[in-house]
Chains A and B, each alone.
Chain A
Amino acid sequence: MKLAALRPAFRGSCHSPARGSPAATEVRILDDGAQLQGRGAPAGGAGSPPPGRAVRIAIAGQPNVGKSTVFNSLTGLDQHVGNWPGKTVEKKSGFVRFGQATVELVDLPGTYSLSAHSAEEEIVRDYLLFQPPEAVVVVVGAATLERNLYLVAELLAFNVPLVVAVNMMDVAAREGVELDLQSLQTALGLPVTALSAARNEGLEALRVCALATARGPRAAIAARPSSRPEHRPIIRHLMQLLDGNIPSAYPLEWLATKLLEGDPRLTQMARASLPPHALAELDRLLHAHEDAFLDIVGGRYDWIREVTRAVVRRPRTDVVSLTDRIDRVATHPTWGLLALITILGLTFWLIYGLATPMVNLLAGATQTLAAVARTALAAWPAWLSGLAIDGLLSGVGMVLAFLPVMVLFFAVLGVLEDVGYFARAAYVMDRFMHALGLHGKSFLPLFLGFGCNVPAALGTRILEDRRSRLLTLLLTPLVPCTARLGVIAFLAPAFFGARAALVSSLLVAFNILIIAFLGLVVGRLMPRQTPPAFIMELPLYHLPMPRTLARFVWHNTRSFVEKAGSIILLASAGVWALSRLPTGDPASSVLAWVGRGLEPLGVLMGLGDWRMLTALLTSFVAKENTIATLGVLFAGQAQHTPWPALVAAHLAPAAGLAFLVVQMLFIPCAATLSILRQEAGWRWASLSVLLQLAISIGMGIAVFQIASRVGYG
């Protein structure tokens, strides 16, 4: 009943019934008369030269539909990653061959709708308005079809050919959801293809279909959602007001509908372009129909119900799916929390159990290598071999030695995110985050912070209100990242022997308590607005995809290795030079002079040795530098003993503990600080640095004083 006239406007059928086998696809390209022959030959071996210009196809979709897997599977490693102009949102694109055509694939940010709530939604909207591609592939999840079609309903208002790619057919099958895609295609009047991108199924059919749609006749009129009868005269009236006054890129009816929905950015644009009398009329109309948004959004869902009526069959409510079964525990108020703690505990245990022996092995190998190099480079000038061995090898080598910790940690984080557990953790933590005036979503960036604070700080963008963002940004750099956990993993065994794992776990628990306490205090001080809305999707569980996982681990590990090869290399050389200049004797070097200046403070923490303080200072460049600097400063004297033991020999247990506490809570690293400044401004970033400086030193002093008094001096 809400369907506009349904005309089968596209000529070929893209629907591929049985798991998207390419043979089931018949597509005719009408403009050049040629039958598309591309059958799994993406990399240009087909003979004839590519047509002059690349066909531009964009990929859109709501979050959690596997859009990036689809994009990655279609482009492979041939991706260009940059930023959307004027925005700090990542833009991925790539040139690929679809059959014999060259296609530029553009990955649009994942968005639930096209109302300008966020930078992502504005990007998608502006892209479709001002650089319309030749086709848009909208990825929807098979098991969550109805909600995912909401984006399709919005996209239909643009004059861009659409292909609907129904992904995660395998997940839907497992959850007992049955789909009739032929009926969906008929009801939508849009080409539909079936996909299981994770299993590489249906990709070829999608290539063929997308290309055919991009090149096909432009007459495609799908079954669009229409506005409610009572709103039609208002929309017509708005269109009359707008006609001729606004840039021609905006489709009139779409703009009128968006104004009625109350879109702030478009309202501003329209108000700025209208002549005074029309402006008054516009304001009057919009004011009189302020509640229209519910009907307009509802109208899109009415359309969805119409088109999916004969398409989706869900299992009866008493059938328990895999997701239900896992969620009985994972989202339970008590068991869910225990599950979260267990998962975190297991993660650390796994890393200590598996990675630490490897780290020690690699660190040992580095020292052996250094010893060999010392003999081999005996003929070199002392300063040059010193720089190479004590500076670069001991610094960078030590940092690279805890690569296993990184890889393992990112692998665990990647799995937890990929299977869909993250959202459950946020759900369970919501009630605790409320104590800070935050909600569950704030837990996600904090959780991510265990990997690296940089993506965690960027991750605060999922929070809609400024107060939540600022408070979460302030807490994020206090989360001990892999680099800091690596330093602990490296030094704790030397400091505490058999009790290293216990002490390390306690340190992490202590750190989490500090974060909670700081959140409580600062949350009290920040003016509370109305509590932010908590609406979050819980994706269906699915198996982690090795490719997505490998990409995640590789992406994060690579940036770590690059850091080791660039700033840590430079910092190690710099630290070495400053520890030798001007006399060549470390004890009278520039660095020693700086470190000694700080000694009065250090003594309070049991860290009277200038080398320990210097290590802390250099950790600002990158947290791994703590190890690199200690390596440089101690390696020279440790020809035979491993240098961590030498460090431990210099420190009382209480001082060792204080050192680990301070390095864990110390100021944000340079990369994190730059993100803090970008996201929250200089004042907030400075506050963050000062606060952490005070907390770390205060805690360092407290821990040392207490520990040495109870007998660990």
Chain B
Amino acid sequence: MTQPQTSVETVLSLVAVGQTALVLGLHGGRAVGERLAEFGLVPSARVSVLRNSRHGPLLVAVQGARLALGRGEAAKVRVIVEPARTGHE
């Protein structure tokens, strides 16, 4: 159903709709990183991408909540895409 890009590191802004990714870390400094981390984008957090078109902000689900995330911010989140499966916790 989805291309198995497992174990390849990418950034959240490049993850397709419907995929789930595991956060590895954050690029960039503390200024933006702190906010991203407080909203739950921390290493080993699981993020589902709900909306991601070529322009404009992403919509993701993380730590049980939905976040709108600017494309620039999403590009700072290092992730690996998880293999597609029918559900997650």
Which residues of A sit under 8 angstroms from B67, Cβ to Cβ? 535-538
Which residues of A sit under 8 angstroms from B89, Cβ to Cβ? 312-314
> B47 → chain A, closest Cβ, in Å?
12
Q: Which residue of chain A is the closest to B53 with respect to CB atoms?
A: A333
> A133 → chain B, closest Cβ, in Å?
24
Would you call the interface of chain B mostly helix, strand, loop, or mixed?
Answer: mixed
Asked if A593 is at the interface of the complex by the 8 Å CB criterion, the answer is no
Please state if A150 and B38 are interface contacts (CB–CB under 8 Å).
yes
Asked if B44 is at the interface of the complex by the 8 Å CB criterion, the answer is yes
Q: Which of B21-71 contact A (CB under 8 A)?
A: 25-26, 30-40, 42-45, 48, 50-51, 53, 55-57, 59, 62-70
Please state if A294 and B26 are interface contacts (CB–CB under 8 Å).
yes
Partner of B40, one of A146, A312, A426: A146
* Bound: A710/B82 CA distance, A: 64
Q: Which of B61-89 contact A (CB under 8 A)?
A: 62-70, 72-73, 86-89
Most chain A C-beta atoms within 10 Å of own C-beta, residue among B34, B51, B87: B34
Q: Which of A244-294 contact B (CB under 8 A)?
A: 261-262, 290-291, 293-294
Please state if B64 and A145 are interface contacts (CB–CB under 8 Å).
yes
> B9 → chain A, closest Cβ, in Å?
16
Partner of B36, one of A146, A148, A291, A535: A535
Given that A301-B40, A333-B53 are known contacts, is A144 also in contact with B64, CB under 8 Å in the complex? Answer: yes
Q: Which of A119-177 contact B (CB under 8 A)?
A: 143-148, 150, 177
Asked if A423 is at the interface of the complex by the 8 Å CB criterion, the answer is yes
Partner of B68, one of A144, A294, A423: A423
* Bound: A177/B64 CA distance, A: 10
Asked if B13 is at the interface of the complex by the 8 Å CB criterion, the answer is no
Partner of B88, one of A112, A297, A317, A538: A317
Please state if A534 and B35 are interface contacts (CB–CB under 8 Å).
no
Q: Which residue of chain B is the closest to A324 with respect to CB atoms?
A: B50
> B65 → chain A, closest Cβ, in Å?
4
Partner of B34, one of A262, A440, A540: A262
Please state if B68 and A426 are interface contacts (CB–CB under 8 Å).
yes
* Bound: A121/B16 CA distance, A: 35
A 472-505 to B, binary, CB cutoff 8 A, 1 in contact else 0:
0000000000000000000000000000000000
Please state if A430 and B66 are interface contacts (CB–CB under 8 Å).
no
> B77 → chain A, closest Cβ, in Å?
11
Q: Which residue of chain A is the closest to B71 with respect to CB atoms?
A: A534
Asked if A533 is at the interface of the complex by the 8 Å CB criterion, the answer is yes
Please state if B70 and A439 are interface contacts (CB–CB under 8 Å).
yes
Partner of B55, one of A304, A327, A431, A533: A431
Contacts A535-B35, A538-B67 known; list 12 others, CB within 8 Å. A115-B34, A143-B64, A293-B37, A294-B43, A312-B64, A314-B89, A316-B88, A318-B87, A323-B66, A333-B53, A431-B56, A533-B32
